[in-house]
Structures are given as C-alpha cells and as structure tokens.
Amino acid sequence: MRIDFHTHYIPRSVERLKNAHADWPRLAIEAPDCGQLYRGEAHYRTIDDRSWDASRRIADMDRWGLDMQVVSPIPVTYAYDCPSEAGRELARVQNDGIAELVRSNPKRFAGLCSVPLQDVDAACAELERAVRDLGLIGVEIGSAVGPVDVANERFEPFWQTCEQLDGIVFLHPERFPGAARLGAHRLVFSSGYPSETGITAAQLIMGGLFARHPKLRFVLAHGGGTLPWLLPRLDQVWSSFADLREALPQRPSQVARSFYCDTLTYDVANLAVVIERIGLERLMLGSDYPFPLMEDPPGKAIAASSTLDDECKALLAGANAARILGLSARTNR
C-alpha cells in the first residue's frame, strides 16, 4: 500500500464564503481548472483544479501508483488571526468539504481537519466534531497563533483533546522566524518554514510535551524541518545545563523519537539523517501535492536511495502510514 501523507486540498464550498470577513483567506475559481487564493485583498497563490477535484487527484495517484492521499487544508487558510467566530466558520466549511471528499472516495482519501486555534475551546469542539462526527483522522495546525507559540501552556487542553480522540496532529508551518530577513529570493520557502518547524519542535521537546501526553501522535512536516540537524546541539546544551536536565529527564534526541515525520527532504542523504534520528518506522511518504514545491513523483528520494532495501522502502512509502494512521483497517471496512 502506497500512501501520500502530505497533500493539500480546498473544497469548492470555501468560495461561497468570499467577502464574509475582510481579512479572510478567499478562494476565487475563475475557470474550471484555475483559481486564485487571496489573503484579504492580497493575492497569495494561483492554484489549479488538482486542489479541489477528486477525479484529477485520483488520476494522478493512479499514474504514480499511490493508493491513497491524506488531505490537509492549505495552511494559508488557518485564519488564526481572524476573530474566533470567523475562524470557526471557515474551519467548519473546510472540514465538511474534506469529509465529503473522504466519504465519496473512502479508499483513496483520508482527511485532516482545520481548527480555530485562536480559541482553544472552539478548537477542541471542532476537532471533536471532525473526528467523531465527520470521520477525519486528525488535525493540521500551524506553529503559532499570532505571537503565541503552540508550545505555550494555553494549548494544553488542545493536546489533551487530541490524545483523547486519538487524532493525528500534523504540524505544518505557515509563519516563519525573522520575516524581515526572508523577503528576498523566496527564502520563506527554502529557509523560513524548515527553521520554524525545527524551532517549534525544539520548544515542544524541551517543554516536556511527550511526558505530559505520551499517547499523542504528532507528525512534523518537511522531514521535521531543521530538527534532525539540531538534535546533537540540543543534546549538548541539555548536557551542559543542570536546569534543563532537571526539567527534562530524557535526552532531547531520545524525546525527538516520539515525533513522526513525513519524508519530504528532496534528498537521499537528508532522508537518511531523518531516518537515523527519528526512526525508520516513524516516517511517512509526503509530497506537498499539488503545489510547486512538491516532490515529483511522490517518494522520489525514497526510490532513489541505494542504502534502503525494498522492505524499508515499503515501510516509508505506505506501510508505516497504514499502521500509524490505521488506514488499512479503514479501507477493509
């Protein structure tokens, strides 16, 4: 079974929300195969019908020998800066649309929901609705709400709800550190997002997230961003300061193996580092379909590896995801 864990989707129903709130993410479909995404009035990205058309996605999966895609909202639609009520409405429309996609093609799609994380109670309620009522398998979140990082204690009830519902958490950055320095050369994509993921993961490790929530299934996008490369230094800092060792009994590199990651590294050598530091059985193929930075074909770096045998490649390409997400059981239902 081959599964692409990291793909994005936007239901067409989002289009009818246009102009509902001034600074909302907005979808404008201007031709059957072309649409524009805006954030407020600012143009964000041109997208095509692969972002909303199930049959195009299935045709691509068939072409690449993929059995299934896990679909997530497009991160620009998190809308954490909007008023809570607006965020809740957008999340509900997206989640209903994703659930509809999954319901109509349960063997080809599984879905992650969006939640209004600016209001933790509302986020917990929407996650519960999405998992219990809509059958989605978890949630995609960003790394922060305004200036408040997800490692902040404010989000404890949210992690608790994720754990109770056994919902997957997929951390996919939407903001980035040092914005003023990343304006040129599209550095946001190349340097900003992976750094953001690495910093956020380091905060969560050092803050003891997994000691408090040992059953949490937490997936990092983009091969964990910079995290795998930070781990030896995190260990060195932890070893050097008693206050850190008191707060976190386990070595950071050991705790990091509680995360799951996608395989989106674009590179065989980098993929090998992620496997070594996070664990072969904790990685799932992810491509970022259908966006310009996607790995094409999905799983290219896995296939290109000369050190992984076929059994290891099969784990990365889908067997891990089927086990971690419970998807094989789902398709046999």
Q: Cβ 172 to Zn ion, closest distance in Å? A: 5
**Segment interacting with Zn ion (CB under 5 A) among 42-50, 103-111, 247-255, 281-289:** 281-289
Q: Is 48 exposed, middle or buried (0-12, 13-18, 19+ CB in 10 A)?
A: middle
Residue type, 28: A
Q: Cβ 294 to Zn ion, closest distance in Å? A: 8
Between 87 and 286, whose beta carbon lies closer to Zn ion? 286
**Segment interacting with Zn ion (CB under 5 A) among 161-169, 198-206, 227-235, 284-292:** 284-292
Rounded Cα distance between 227 and 200, Å, is 9
**Binding flag, residue 295, Zn ion (CB under 5 A):** no
Buried b / exposed e along 85-122 (16+ C-beta atoms within 10 A) = ebbbbbbbbbbbbbbebbeeeeebbbbbbbbbbbbbeb
Between 77 and 161, whose beta carbon lies closer to Zn ion? 77
> How many residues bind to Zn ion according to rule CB under 5 A?
1
Between 74 and 120, whose beta carbon lies closer to Zn ion? 74
Give the list of residues 6+ apart from residue 174 with CB closer than 8 angstroms, or none: 75, 76, 78, 142, 143
Between 120 and 316, whose beta carbon lies closer to Zn ion? 316
**Segment interacting with Zn ion (CB under 5 A) among 88-96, 148-156, 177-185, 285-293:** 285-293
Between 72 and 161, whose beta carbon lies closer to Zn ion? 72
Q: Cβ 124 to Zn ion, closest distance in Å? A: 24
Residue 260, classed as helix, strand or coil, is strand
Nearest to 172 by CA among 221, 104, 227, 111: 221
For 269, other C-beta atoms within 10 Å of its C-beta total: 10
Which residue has the closest beta carbon to Zn ion?
288
Q: 119, 126, 196, 288: which one contacts Zn ion (CB under 5 A)? A: 288
Between 5 and 210, whose beta carbon lies closer to Zn ion? 5
Q: Cβ 203 to Zn ion, closest distance in Å? A: 21
* Cα 45-49-175 angle, rounded to 5 deg: 30
Question: Within 13 Å and on the Cβ side, how many CA atoms surround 74?
Answer: 25
Between 126 and 288, whose beta carbon lies closer to Zn ion? 288
Q: Is 175 exposed, middle or buried (0-12, 13-18, 19+ CB in 10 A)?
A: buried
Q: Which residues lie near Zn ion (CB under 5 A)?
A: 288
